[in-house]
């Protein structure tokens, strides 16, 4: 599974927002959500996923940044684990991008393209 807009699901506190300030000829602004390229975004993304997955992490779900792998012994096992993972994501208010998710595959593509 893949989270939609990865870092953009992480709100920034006031101190972090100030560090994202930008100026254009027409306006100034700050980001309210984490963006790609922030130095500590991968660390905090991983921390967020660890909190969201709680006791599921490393036991029934593996993740790296915004990607989640859910191995299962059989279809019934997979559905049980998938329900637990989806519930954990719902509680953490994180959403997945269905078009980038694959369910029930026997193997996965590691080349980075589908």
User: For 34-88, what is each residue's pLDDT tens digit?
Assistant: 877 777 778 888 888 888 888 888 788 888 877 888 888 888 988 999 999 999 9
Share of the chain above pLDDT 90, in %: 18
Q: Could you tell me the pTM of the whole model?
A: 0.72
Query: Who's near 58: CB < 8 A, 6+ residues apart?
Result: none
107 CB neighbour count, 10 Å cutoff: 5
7 CB neighbour count, 10 Å cutoff: 21
Q: Of the candidates 82, 4, 78, 16, which has an alpha carbon nearest to the alpha carbon of residue 43?
A: 16
Share of the chain above pLDDT 70, in %: 93
Q: Of the candidates 91, 6, 4, which has an alpha carbon nearest to the alpha carbon of residue 44?
A: 6
CA separation (Å) from 43 to 7, 26, 72, 76, 109?
Answer: 11, 33, 28, 34, 25
Using 50, 70 and 90 to split pLDDT, how confident is the model at 91? very high
Q: Chain-wide mean pLDDT for the chain? A: 84
Residue 93 scores a pLDDT above 70 = yes
Location of structure tokens 């208010």: 93
- CA triplet 69, 38, 26: central angle to 5 degrees? 130
The pLDDT of residue 109: 63
């Amino acid at each position: 599974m893949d989270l939609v807009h990865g870092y953009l699901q992480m709100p920034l506190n006031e101190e972090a927002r100030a560090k994202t300030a930008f100026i254009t000829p027409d306006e100034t602004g700050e980001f309210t959500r984490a963006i790609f390229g922030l130095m500590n975004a991968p660390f905090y993304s991983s921390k967020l996923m660890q909190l969201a997955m709680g006791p599921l992490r490393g036991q029934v779900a593996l993740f790296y940044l915004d990607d989640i792998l859910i191995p299962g012994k059989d279809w019934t096992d997979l559905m049980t684990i998938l329900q637990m993972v989806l519930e954990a994501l719902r509680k953490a208010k994180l959403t997945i991008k269905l078009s980038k998710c694959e369910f029930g595959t026997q193997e996965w593509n590691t080349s980075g393209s589908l």
